[in-house]
């Protein structure tokens, strides 16, 4: 994907001096999504059609607002109102909305905009209006290349989300996951990447060897994952731009469960030898390897805290799978899970405040969160089989995967990606063209 | 008289159905001790009488008495075929998290390798690979299927 050249310049930024009347609270379960009207963007006269390779994209103003609406709908926090009920035309609404018209259809917030397309540039201006207070809340403009029109919609979505919730959004992001096909006894797996709304799916490996558990680097340029290339299970690095894959280090045994350190400089992973799995790090540039855990138990699924000072991980040193936290040099190992059942796949929130995990108890699988000291355990969802949560970059949504039961012929089996809000609401299936597992969320692309 | 014959007929039918159901349940329950599979439905043979695999209890990598018996037979046969090399695969069932299952499979395969080595097989002839839960032999979502999938398989390297 071409590097995005994004010039954002603020036009007339009118911040309402009084406290905004319209706002969204995302810390509580939202049973009352905010009614928001997303007007199709006005397409400036003289604009040419957007081309995506061979395809011509008509009505780009509607296409962009359509992507924004889907983002809002899927977040569970907003209720985008039906276009058919809009009274004002996009060109006029963008300059001077008649707030009485918009209030009639019960909109509390309104998004309007204008898009201009030339051969090599797509320029967007958009405004967010507080319909209740009859005020402009944001006015922004930026440009990019025409084939990046979807990212425009995601950036608009993030700006609106941020203004109305006070939190950073998560719409301008990608998901890397494992695409699965074939019988359960011989699954055919490929690395895949897509926009968080499911668009722009690309396959990163051919499927000739088993690939598992891909994770993004903090800069989103690299993916680390486990590959069974040449029947030697090892951690690899893949450059998303070039497609180049290289093995991480020169370990004389299986390496697996890789993640990046928050500064992107190291890979942290497990190395298994002679029946024992310990956690190691390797500096990507210097290639220096450090051993972090030293124990005869299985130590795996390591995850750094966002400040890089601590690591949470999975260990069975007490007999069964539990979650532990240690300092990033391996010292001060502390067990944090003491509840009934097994705990696995710990992953530290980018906000630093919570650790998400998988719990198995009495034959059921749970996705949950707890504080880094193990307190405040909260289970969000229960299923026959689900695991491996990954955080959205704003620490508000978790993506994970589920598998269904199957008979001895494998009939009934499926693996799908799902997401759920931290509040426990908005549990949602994520459509993928094949079955999918092991999803991992990127950080915001526009950082 | 008629009543007696009828009763006898009914009794025969009832006994027959009980016998049939007993057979059916035995098949369904398969063969498990604790939750270690003890049957031979998925077992293949390296040579006559030499089973190619051993089975494990949930979350465990300990070898049962039956497993050790199988492995002693494997070792005896391997000693005779001194030029052959082997890959020992470790597997887990689907009822656990993926990464931990990779480690558990590796631990199971190494338990087998260590035992074979105590019977004189050189470690240089035995390589280990874990497939975690990725290659089940039985696709079913039930305890019998899971017990058949918790295994370590010795494979001849060509």
Which residues of A fall within a CB distance of 8 Å from B104? 298
Tell me the two tokens of residue B67.
Answer: 């497993």
What are A392-436's pLDDT values in tens digits?
A: 999 999 999 999 999 999 999 999 999 999 999 999 999 999 999
Q: Is A300 on the interface with B (CB under 8 A)?
A: yes
Residue pointed to by tokens 């008509």: A58
**The pLDDT value given to residue A107:** 96
pLDDT surpasses 90 at A274 = yes
Give the pLDDT band (50/70/90) at residue A4: very low
A398, A390 Cβ separation under 8 angstroms: yes
pLDDT of residue B58: 97
Which residue spans within chain B are E strands per DSSP?
A: 32-33, 36-37, 45-47, 50-51, 53-55, 86-91, 126-132, 151-156
- CATH T-level assignment (fold) for domain A174-441: Neuraminidase (2.120.10)
Place of tokens 């919730």: A165
Between chains, do B103 and A272 touch, taking CB under 8 Å as contact? Answer: yes
Domain boundaries, chain A: 7-165, 174-441
Cα angle value A347/A231/A406 (rounded, 5°): 60
Asked if B61's CB is within 8 angstroms of A385's CB, the reply is: no
Contact B141 A231 (CB under 8 A): no
User: A7-165: what fold?
Assistant: Rossmann fold (3.40.50)
The answer to whether A438 contacts B98, with C-beta atoms less than 8 Å apart, is yes
Answer whether residue A14 shows pLDDT above 70. Answer: no
Give the pLDDT band (50/70/90) at residue A312: very high
Task: Tell whether the model's pLDDT for residue A134 goes beyond 60.
Answer: yes
Cα–Cα distances (Å) from A159 to A34, A49, A68, A171, A254, in that order, read 16, 26, 11, 10, 44
d(CA A66, CA A319): 52
Report the residue from B100, B137, B145 with minimal CB separation from A344.
B100
Q: At A139, is the pLDDT very low, low, confident or very high (cuts 50, 70, 90)? A: very high
What pLDDT was estimated at residue A1? 43
pLDDT at B1: 57
**Chain B residue nearest residue A269, CA to CA:** B99
Q: Is the pLDDT of residue A278 over 60?
A: yes
pLDDT, averaged across chain A: 93
Condensed to tens digits (0 to 9), the pLDDT of residues A349-395 reads 999 999 999 999 999 999 999 999 999 999 999 999 999 999 999 99
Question: How many angstroms separate the CA atoms of A143 and A6, rounded?
Answer: 6
CA–CA min distance A277, chain B (Å): 6
What's the mean pLDDT in A56-83? 96
Task: Name which of A414, A343, A417 is nearest A379 in CA terms.
Answer: A343
Mean pLDDT of the residues in chain B: 90
High-pLDDT (> 90) share of chain A, %: 89
Residue that wins the pLDDT comparison between A365 and B13 = A365
Q: Does residue A23 have a pLDDT over 50?
A: yes
Identify which of B94, B99, B129 has the shortest CB distance to residue A345.
B99
Nearest to B103 among A210, A277, A409 (CB): A277
Tell me if B95 and A360 make a contact (CB, 8 A cut-off): yes
Q: What is the pLDDT of residues B57-70, one digit of tens each?
A: 999 999 999 999 99
Confidence of residue B26 (pLDDT cuts 50, 70, 90): very low
E strands, A182-335, are 188-195, 202-203, 211-216, 222-227, 234-239, 245-247, 255-260, 266-273, 276-283, 289-291, 299-304, 310-315, 322-327, 334-335
Does the structure show a pLDDT above 60 at A85? yes
Q: Which helix (H) or strand (E) holds B18?
A: helix B2-29
Q: Under CATH, which number does the domain B31-156 receive?
A: 3.30.1330.60
Is the predicted pLDDT of residue B27 greater than 80, yes or no?
no
Binning pLDDT at 50, 70 and 90, where does residue A6 land? very low
Domain range annotation of chain B: 1-30, 31-156
Kindly report the nearest CA distance between residue B140 and chain A, in angstroms.
4
Q: Mark yes or no for CB contact B110/A320 under 8 Å.
A: no
Across residues B54-83, what is the average pLDDT?
A: 97
From chain B, the residues in CB contact with A385 under 8 A are 94-95
Chain A residues with CB-CB distance to B106 below 8 A: 254, 272, 275, 277
- pLDDT of residue B3 exceeding 70, the answer is no
Q: How much is the pLDDT for A24? A: 82
CB A233 within 8 A of CB A200: no
- pLDDT the model gives residue B16: 61
How large is the ipTM? Answer: 0.93
Best residue of A270, A275, A347 to probe chain B, by most B CBs closer than 10 Å: A275
Q: How confident is the model at residue B9 (pLDDT cuts 50, 70, 90)?
A: confident
Residue B131 has a pLDDT of 98
- A320-334: average pLDDT: 98
β-strand partners of A343: A359
Do B139 and A300 lie within an 8 Å CB cutoff?
Answer: no
Decide whether A7-165 matches A174-441 in CATH topology: no
Please enumerate residues of B whose Cβ is less than 8 A from a Cβ of A.
59, 61, 94-100, 102-104, 106-107, 110-111, 114, 129-130, 134-141, 145
> If you average pLDDT over residues B23-33, what whole number do you get?
58
pTM: 0.91
Looking at residue A191, its pLDDT comes to 98
User: What confidence score (pLDDT) does residue B30 get?
Assistant: 59
Of chain B, the percentage scoring pLDDT greater than 70 comes to 85
Given a cut of 90, is residue A329 above it in pLDDT? yes
- Are residues A241 and A221 in contact, defined by beta-carbon separation less than 8 angstroms? yes
Task: State both tokens at B114.
Answer: 């260590």
pLDDT at A10: 44
Across A323-334, average pLDDT: 98
3-state secondary structure of A130: strand
For residues A130-139, average pLDDT = 96
Cα–Cα distance, A397 to A393 (Å, whole number): 8
The reply to whether residue B110 touches residue A257, judged by beta carbons under 8 angstroms, is no
């Amino acid at each position: 994907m071409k590097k995005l050249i994004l010039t954002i310049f603020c036009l007339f930024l009118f911040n309402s001096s009084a406290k905004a009347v319209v706002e969204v609270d995302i810390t509580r379960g939202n049973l009352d999504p905010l009614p928001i009207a997303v007007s199709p963007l006005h397409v400036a006269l003289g604009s040419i059609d957007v081309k995506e390779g061979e395809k011509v994209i008509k009505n780009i103003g509607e296409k962009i607002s359509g992507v924004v609406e889907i983002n809002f709908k899927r977040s569970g926090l907003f209720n985008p109102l039906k276009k058919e009920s809009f009274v004002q035309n996009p060109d006029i609404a963008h300059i001077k909305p008649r707030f009485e018209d918009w209030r009639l259809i019960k909109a509390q917030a309104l998004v309007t905009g204008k898009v201009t397309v030339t051969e090599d540039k797509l320029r967007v201006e958009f405004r967010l209006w507080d319909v209740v207070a009859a005020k402009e809340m944001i006015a922004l403009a930026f440009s990019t290349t025409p084939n990046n029109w979807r990212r425009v919609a995601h950036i608009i979505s993030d700006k609106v989300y941020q203004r109305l919730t006070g939190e950073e959004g998560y719409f301008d992001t990608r998901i890397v996951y494992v695409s699965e096909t074939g019988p359960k006894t011989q699954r055919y797996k490929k690395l895949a990447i897509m926009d968080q709304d499911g668009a722009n799916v690309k396959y990163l490996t051919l499927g000739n060897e088993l690939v598992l558990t891909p994770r993004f680097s903090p800069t989103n340029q690299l993916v680390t994952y486990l590959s069974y290339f040449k029947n030697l299970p090892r951690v690899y690095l893949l450059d998303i731009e070039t497609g180049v894959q290289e093995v991480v280090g020169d370990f004389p045994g299986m390496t697996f469960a890789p993640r990046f350190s928050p500064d992107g400089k190291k890979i942290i992973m497990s190395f298994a030898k002679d029946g024992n799995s310990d956690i190691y790090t390797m500096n990507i540039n210097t290639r220096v390897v450090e051993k972090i855990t030293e124990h005869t138990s299985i130590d795996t699924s390591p995850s750094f805290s966002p400040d890089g000072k601590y690591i949470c991980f999975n260990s069975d040193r007490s007999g069964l799978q539990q979650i532990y936290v240690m300092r990033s040099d391996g010292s001060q190992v502390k067990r944090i899970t003491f509840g009934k059942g097994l705990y696995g796949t710990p992953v530290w929130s980018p906000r630093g405040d919570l650790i998400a995990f998988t719990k198995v108890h009495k034959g059921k699988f749970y996705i949950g969160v707890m504080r880094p000291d193990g307190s405040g355990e909260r289970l969000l969802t229960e299923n026959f089989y689900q695991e491996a949560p990954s955080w959205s970059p704003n620490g508000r949504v978790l993506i994970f995967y589920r598998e269904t039961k199957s008979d001895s012929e494998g009939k009934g089996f499926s693996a799908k990606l799902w997401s759920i809000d931290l509040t426990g609401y908005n549990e949602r299936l994520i459509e993928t063209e094949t079955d999918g597992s092991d999803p991992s969320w990127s950080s915001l692309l526009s950082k | 008289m008629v009543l007696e014959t009828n009763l006898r007929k009914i009794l025969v039918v009832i006994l027959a159905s009980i016998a049939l159901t007993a057979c059916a349940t035995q098949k369904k329950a398969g063969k498990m001790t604790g939750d270690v599979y003890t049957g031979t439905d998925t077992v293949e043979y390296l040579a006559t009488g030499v089973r190619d695999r051993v089975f494990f209890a949930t979350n465990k990598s300990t070898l049962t008495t039956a497993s050790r018996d199988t492995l002693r037979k494997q070792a005896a046969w391997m000693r005779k075929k001194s030029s052959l090399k082997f890959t020992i695969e470790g597997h887990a069932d689907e009822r656990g998290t993926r990464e931990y299952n990779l480690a558990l499979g590796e631990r199971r395969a190494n338990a087998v390798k260590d035992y074979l080595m105590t019977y004189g097989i050189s470690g240089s002839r035995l390589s280990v690979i874990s497939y975690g839960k990725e290659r089940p032999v039985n696709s079913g979502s039930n305890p019998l299927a899971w017990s058949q999938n918790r295994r370590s398989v010795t494979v001849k390297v060509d």
